[in-house]
């Protein structure tokens, strides 16, 4: 237990090991596993150190991204990273049904230590443009070098934003218009089919991207299973291996592929006069 006192050493708050406020100067506080309490105080600090809105008796998590209702035992709105597995099967679920051991300050589906151990994690500062998450992470091999990560839904030859789809050239123009340089920048597209060639035999998205940037680019031939999270300008992406038992649902293994700029001649046909 941790006790917060004023200058006169009077007890103001008593906090347990999970950061829940369990006592005030005049009374104790108890919670249900989901954080419901009858002792709502205007101070707002409650279960696991999260703000409890005294009017709605709900927890606004992720800086107001979603409200968790301890009375309903779930979120009041779906996770915008669902459906299709990104936010979990149940898009309203709170900490995968384990509120005692889990916490969810972002309002998104939580990552577990097990997934973090078996997956490949990328994290860093960035921004979101038309629903596409773009951020720089530390290079996994070359110390001191940055890797540009793009997290989006994809299809052969394009990636999908919230409003529209983008060809490699259109997406490069979009980034440049938002002051994100792509020339000579090694990139990693965490998007399904970003390394898949077009049906009519055209070059894949990452092949065309490598020709545009002149730098190495990594993508995926098939579907890629990943968990994504963000908090302000902090972004995370955890790429998960595809267990053989689940491939009937997720499709074949992602099939990571790397394109390098040393063999990029005649990848994209040019019109001639």
Q: Please write down the HEC assignment for all residues of 1-66.
A: CEEEECCCCCEEEEECCCCCEEEECCCECCCCCCCCCCCCCCCCECHHHCECCCCCCCEEECCCCE
User: 3-state class of 173 per DSSP?
Assistant: helix
Let me know if 272 is exposed, middle or buried by CB neighbors in 10 A (0-12, 13-18, 19+): exposed
DSSP string, 97-147: G-TTT---TTSSPPPPHHHHHHSEEEEEEEEEETTEEEEEEE-SSSTT-EE
Pairing of strands 187-190, 146-151: parallel
Over residues 140-190, the pLDDT tens digits come to 888 889 999 999 999 999 999 999 999 999 999 999 999 999 999 999 999
- The stretch 48-56 carries a mean pLDDT of 79
For 118-136, write each residue's pLDDT tens digit.
668 899 999 999 999 999 9
């Amino acid at each position: 237990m941790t006790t917060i006192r004023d200058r006169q050493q009077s007890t103001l708050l008593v906090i347990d090991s999970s950061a829940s406020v369990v006592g005030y100067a005049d009374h104790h506080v108890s919670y249900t596993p989901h954080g419901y309490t009858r002792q709502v105080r205007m101070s707002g600090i409650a279960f696991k150190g999260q703000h409890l809105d005294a009017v709605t008796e709900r927890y606004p998590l992720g800086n107001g991204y979603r409200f968790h209702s301890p009375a309903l035992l779930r979120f009041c709105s779906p996770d915008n990273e669902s459906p299709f597995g990104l936010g979990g099967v149940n898009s309203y679920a709170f900490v995968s049904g384990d509120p005692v051991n889990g916490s969810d300050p972002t309002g998104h589906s939580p990552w577990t230590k097990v997934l973090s151990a078996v997956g490949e994690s990328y994290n860093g500062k960035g921004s979101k443009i038309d629903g596409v998450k773009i951020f720089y992470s530390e290079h996994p091999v070359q110390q001191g070098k940055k890797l540009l990560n793009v997290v989006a839904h994809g299809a052969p030859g394009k990636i999908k934003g919230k409003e529209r789809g983008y060809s490699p050239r259109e997406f490069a123009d979009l980034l440049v218009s938002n002051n994100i340089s792509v020339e000579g920048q090694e990139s990693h597209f965490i998007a399904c089919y970003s390394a898949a060639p077009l049906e009519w035999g055209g070059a894949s998205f990452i092949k065309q991207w490598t020709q545009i940037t002149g730098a190495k680019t990594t993508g995926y031939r098939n579907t890629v299973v990943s968990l994504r999270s963000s908090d302000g300008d902090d972004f995370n992406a955890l790429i998960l291996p595809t267990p053989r038992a689940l491939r009937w649902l997720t499709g074949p293994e992602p099939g990571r592929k790397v394109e390098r700029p040393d063999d990029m001649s005649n990848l994209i046909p040019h019109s001639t006069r």
